Amino acid sequence: MQRQQAQNQDFTQPEVGVEAKPSLKDVLSDLS
């Protein structure tokens, strides 16, 4: 269980970062 939690945390951070990048691109696309 602890191992899964640690993996979840590790995956959550990169996922948020990856999601934030496309989000910025989408915002820029909307602006342009």
pLDDT at 27: 77
The pLDDT value given to residue 17: 57
Angstrom CA distances, 4 to 11, 12, 13, 20, stand at 10, 12, 14, 24
pTM higher than the cut 0.75: no
Residue 10 is predicted with a pLDDT of 59
pLDDT at residue 5 in the model: 59
**Distance (Å, whole) CA 32 – CA 10:** 34
> What does pLDDT average to in each consecutive run of 10 residues of the chain (32 residues)?
58 58 75 72
